[in-house]
Amino acid sequence: MSITSTDENNSGMTAAQSLARWLADRLDVTDLVIDTSGRPPLNGQSNDTLMLRARWRTGGREQAGGFVVRRPPSGRSLYHHYDLASQYATMRALVDTDVPVPPLVGYEPDATVIGAPFYVMGEVVGEAPPDVPPYTAIGWVLTLTPQEQARMHDAAVEVLARIHRLDIRALPLGHLPTEPVSGFDAQFQATLDWYAWATAGTPHPVLANAVDWLQERRPRIAPDEECLNWGDARVGNMLFRDLSPVAVLDWEMAAVGPPEVDLGWWLFLYRFHTEGLGNPRIAGFPDDEATVAMWERSAGRTALDIDYYVVLAGLRMSIIVHRHMRRMVEEGTLPPERIPDFPNPSADLLARLIS
């Protein structure tokens, strides 16, 4: 994503000029100038993201700050449904809770400002475990001692449990679907729709088997068991400072449902980044059983049907990888005949889970 383009909007301003005016209005400052030299993020492919710095004057004094601009993907999406307003509304609902989210500047639905709807967050000083290459293969997490890795992991699980301890009835989360079905029913149907869209009428054998496996074993969920689901729950979506999470990021998959949806995703994604990609487990990170026990103590509840939700996570991750392959076909970087034999480590791991 870039705002340095000379393309003009209806007012004759470039995107950079238009965003600068928007930021100045939101911050109630004057003489705001944008510097777009910020580094792109290492994690995530679901948003177009721009990190920038701006300078402005307040009360005659020059000030500066960092910002993150997020907008829907300009290319072919990994998700069949993309709701930027919902992402922003979820974070806004958490501002006064003990779940750390970035400072929010504002959401703009008007596509004429920079060419698409967008929202802006204030920059948070911290570091996320990288996705590419994954933090299990390279990066700062591996430079920590096992004791430091354990501190980091335990603090992250505590924040995950904080999300699940929130009283969703007391928060403005009405934008997340729960009616006329339960939150999990809505999530499950959305997953089926996502699978159908991603496979484009050509069923994937492992994914299709996983859909059948999940439908046959659907657990019964009481409404009072449901809570806020972060959705993309993993350490790679947290910013850390001094080994503690200072911001929880990426709420594209946020929903209402049982907390095990997040816990299953947490466990499967770690397994994907280790076993699935051929990397060793991190010395200071506990095994799955210990992680679940740690979450139970922090959340104050017992994890139910966890194997089911790990398989659900495997299906969702495999859909993402499969959709990425089809996107490569659509973009001309992968011939269609390569899809059946193109590596999908997530689907390989999923097949072992349901065998």
> pLDDT for 69-101, tens place per residue?
999 877 566 666 778 999 999 999 999 999 999
In DSSP terms, which residues pair with 62 in a beta bridge?
Answer: 57
Domain residues for the domain of 162 are: 140-354
In DSSP terms, which residues pair with 218 in a beta bridge?
Answer: none
Domain end call among 91, 122, 153: 122
- Please state, in angstroms and rounded to a whole number, the distance separating the CA atoms of residues 216 and 205: 17
Q: Please state the separation of Cα 79 from the chain's center in Å.
A: 12
Check whether residue 218 and residue 247 sit in a common domain: yes
- Measured from the Cβ of residue 346, the count of other Cβ atoms closer than 10 Å reads 26
* Spatial CA neighbour of 241 closest among 122, 155, 125, 101: 125
- Higher pLDDT among residues 61 and 10, named by residue: 61
Check whether residue 178 and residue 58 sit in a common domain: no
With a CB cutoff of 8 Å and minimum separation 6, the contacts of 60 are: none
Is residue 132 situated within a structural domain?
Answer: no
Q: What is the mean pLDDT of residues 296-311?
A: 97
Is residue 241 situated within a structural domain?
Answer: yes
- Measured from the Cβ of residue 25, the count of other Cβ atoms closer than 10 Å reads 11
- Higher pLDDT among residues 43 and 257, named by residue: 257
- Please state, in angstroms and rounded to a whole number, the distance separating the CA atoms of residues 109 and 112: 9
Q: What is the mean pLDDT of residues 43-63?
A: 79
With a CB cutoff of 8 Å and minimum separation 6, the contacts of 273 are: 134, 135, 136, 279
Is residue 157 situated within a structural domain?
Answer: yes
Rounded to two decimals, the pTM is 0.90
Q: Can you give the CATH number for the domain in which 100 is found?
A: 3.30.200.20
**Residue written as token pair 């600068």:** 20
Check whether residue 92 and residue 232 sit in a common domain: no
Is residue 288 situated within a structural domain?
Answer: yes
pLDDT at 46 over 70: no
Is residue 211 situated within a structural domain?
Answer: yes
Bond before 336 cis per omega within 30 degrees: no
- Higher pLDDT among residues 250 and 59, named by residue: 250
The answer to whether 157 touches 297, Cβ cutoff 8 Å, is no
Check whether residue 116 and residue 146 sit in a common domain: no
In DSSP terms, which residues pair with 256 in a beta bridge?
Answer: 228
φ/ψ of residue 122, rounded to 5: -75, 150
In the structure, what pLDDT confidence band is assigned to residue 7 with cuts at 50, 70 and 90?
A: very low
Check whether residue 25 and residue 67 sit in a common domain: yes
- Please state, in angstroms and rounded to a whole number, the distance separating the CA atoms of residues 268 and 265: 5
Check whether residue 230 and residue 272 sit in a common domain: yes
Bond before 180 cis per omega within 30 degrees: yes
Q: What is the mean pLDDT of residues 99-113?
A: 96
φ/ψ of residue 176, rounded to 5: -90, 130
Residue 1, pLDDT score: 45
- Please state, in angstroms and rounded to a whole number, the distance separating the CA atoms of residues 100 and 248: 6
pLDDT in tens, 133-192: 999 999 999 999 999 999 999 999 999 999 999 999 999 999 997 665 678 998 999 999
Residue 327, pLDDT score: 74
Check whether residue 88 and residue 192 sit in a common domain: no
> Which of 207-211, 331-335, 346-350 shows the lowest per-residue confidence on average (mean pLDDT)?
331-335
Residue 12, pLDDT score: 54
Is residue 128 situated within a structural domain?
Answer: no
- Please state, in angstroms and rounded to a whole number, the distance separating the CA atoms of residues 273 and 187: 24
With a CB cutoff of 8 Å and minimum separation 6, the contacts of 333 are: none
Residue 209 amino acid letter: N
Check whether residue 205 and residue 290 sit in a common domain: yes
With a CB cutoff of 8 Å and minimum separation 6, the contacts of 141 are: 129, 135, 149, 152, 282
pLDDT at 336 over 80: no
Residue 5, pLDDT score: 42
- Please state, in angstroms and rounded to a whole number, the distance separating the CA atoms of residues 324 and 16: 30
Is residue 5 situated within a structural domain?
Answer: no
Q: What percentage of the chain carries pLDDT values higher than 70? A: 88
Q: Can you give the CATH number for the domain in which 232 is found?
A: 3.90.1200.10
Domain end call among 66, 88, 122: 122
- Higher pLDDT among residues 345 and 45, named by residue: 345
- Higher pLDDT among residues 204 and 292, named by residue: 292
In DSSP terms, which residues pair with 53 in a beta bridge?
Answer: 35, 66
Check whether residue 341 and residue 284 sit in a common domain: yes
Counted residue by residue, the chain has a size of 355
pLDDT averaged over every residue in the chain: 89
Largest CA distance in the chain: 68
Number of domains in the chain: 2
Check whether residue 177 and residue 105 sit in a common domain: no
Check whether residue 91 and residue 162 sit in a common domain: no
* Strands (E) located in 170-291: 227-229, 238-241, 244-248, 255-257
Q: Is 31 helix (H, G, I), strand (E, B) or coil?
A: strand
Check whether residue 65 and residue 167 sit in a common domain: no
φ/ψ of residue 67, rounded to 5: -140, 155
Domain end call among 79, 96, 122: 122
